[in-house]
Amino acid sequence: MNSNASSDGSGEKPDLEVADQATSLSRGKIAIVFLTCSAVDFAALFDQNTLAVALPIISSSLGASSQLSSIAAAYFITATSFQLLYGRLSDIWSRKLILIAGIAIFFLGSLGASLAKSVTEIIAFRALTGIGGGGLVTLVQIIVGDVVSLRERGRWQGILESLIFGYMLWCIGLGLHSSLRPSTGLAVQLVYGFLLGFGAGHTFQPSLIAMQAAVSKDNMAVITGVRSFIRDLGGTFGLAIAGSIISHSLREVLSKATLYNQEILSSQQINEILKGPIDSGILEKTDTIRSLVLSGYFAGFRRVFYFSTALAIVTIVATVFFIPQVELSVEEKEELDKARNSSDDLRKSNNSISESI
């Protein structure tokens, strides 16, 4: 469904209007702001991804594999909860002040988690890190929206065609991940992961730009926080759902094996494996148990990817049929330039008055 926001011969304004919220800055200053925001965003995302890889090792060394999901959930819960607050606080005070506060909280939480001696300490400090990390991602998006015009924002952040293309790649990547087997080579896994990440990259920023374009400057920070809140809230629920699916699949495989006497396991042993297959020590007993656990995990991950693929298909349908295409008109750019020129003239006038006084 396409609707072009262009004026007709009668001079009336179109039904669909695009709001621009940019503050005029030179290209050099925009580059500095953008590089700074990129570094902040990289730190927050790098923290999430590196910890995801290290979590099994950390939980195993502390003997708390059963609390693995709690460590991950602690970050996402606090990050999701505080994102809306960061957007409003940055409107009340300043983007810079709130960003510095978020970086400080993120630093303290990361430092505390790296020095933690128990699982309880890690969970507490990861929750503190989430308070800062969630705000960093939101504030970076708000700041870029402040300094880059809506017409040029796509060059810096990356609307409809990009979303459709991204969700299609996302769907393909998830479907391919469901076909992975224990014998699948590393090269194939990397290709599948690249497709999945490439598709995700084509959906995150364009969807943000579309939402920012639909509101006035006064509501831009709020809508950015709401969008991040909804996205992370879905991620929190998705993490819990995926964990439940994997646990159910593992229990199902182990119970069937016991039923058919492939390997006798008591209910207590099955529960120990579900809490932490490495800590339980049961995996070291026989190769049969080890293969059963692996097959249970793969069955669970396969179901998770099936479910995710279905959700990706739903997003493609919703994007094609329910999101209109709004073009940025030349008149909108001219009005923005006039507003900037008026602002510059007013600034010069105020400076002249100040000098004369």
pLDDT digits (tens, 9 = 90+) for 97-112: 999 999 999 999 999 9
pLDDT recorded at residue 14: 44
Q: Does the pLDDT at position 228 exceed 70?
A: yes
Q: Does the pLDDT at position 53 exceed 90?
A: no
Q: Does the pLDDT at position 239 exceed 50?
A: yes
Q: Does the pLDDT at position 46 exceed 70?
A: yes
Q: Does the pLDDT at position 33 exceed 50?
A: yes
Q: Does the pLDDT at position 157 exceed 70?
A: no
> Averaged over 117-137, what is the pLDDT?
87
Write the DSSP symbol of residue 124: H
Q: How many helices (H) and strands (E) does the chain have?
A: 12, 0
Cβ-Cβ contacts under 8 Å for 319 (sequence gap 6 or more)? 160, 163, 164, 167
Q: Does the pLDDT at position 306 exceed 80?
A: yes
**Could you give the angle at the alpha carbon of 202 between the alpha carbons of 233 and 85, nearest 5°?**
30
> Averaged over 219-229, what is the pLDDT?
78
The more confidently predicted of residues 173 and 336 is 173
pLDDT recorded at residue 57: 75
pLDDT recorded at residue 324: 66
Q: Does the pLDDT at position 5 exceed 70?
A: no
The more confidently predicted of residues 134 and 353 is 134
Q: Does the pLDDT at position 186 exceed 70?
A: yes
Ranges 64-78, 282-296, 306-320, most confident: 306-320
Q: Tell me the pLDDT tens digit for each residue of 254-298.
A: 777 766 565 566 677 777 777 666 655 666 666 677 777 888 888
pLDDT recorded at residue 1: 40
- Residue located via tokens 């970050």: 75
pLDDT recorded at residue 10: 45
Q: Does the pLDDT at position 354 exceed 60?
A: no
Of the listed ranges 47-51, 70-74, 273-277, 344-348, the one predicted with least confidence: 344-348
The more confidently predicted of residues 351 and 45 is 45
> Averaged over 77-99, what is the pLDDT?
84
37 confidence band (pLDDT: 50, 70, 90): confident
Determine the Cα–Cα distance for residues 305 and 177; give it in Å rounded to an integer.
Answer: 7
> Averaged over 347-354, what is the pLDDT?
54
User: Is the Cβ–Cβ distance between 221 and 142 less than 8 Å?
Assistant: yes
Question: Chain-wide mean pLDDT for the chain?
Answer: 74
Residue 91 phi, psi (nearest 5): -75, -40
The more confidently predicted of residues 28 and 174 is 174
Of the listed ranges 216-220, 307-311, 348-352, the one predicted with least confidence: 348-352
Of the listed ranges 116-120, 151-155, 352-356, the one predicted with least confidence: 352-356
The more confidently predicted of residues 321 and 275 is 321
Determine the Cα–Cα distance for residues 289 and 253; give it in Å rounded to an integer.
Answer: 11
Burial class (CB in 10 A: 0-12, 13-18, 19+), 291: middle
* C-alpha Rg value of the chain to the nearest Å: 25
pLDDT recorded at residue 16: 44
Percent of the chain with pLDDT over 70: 69
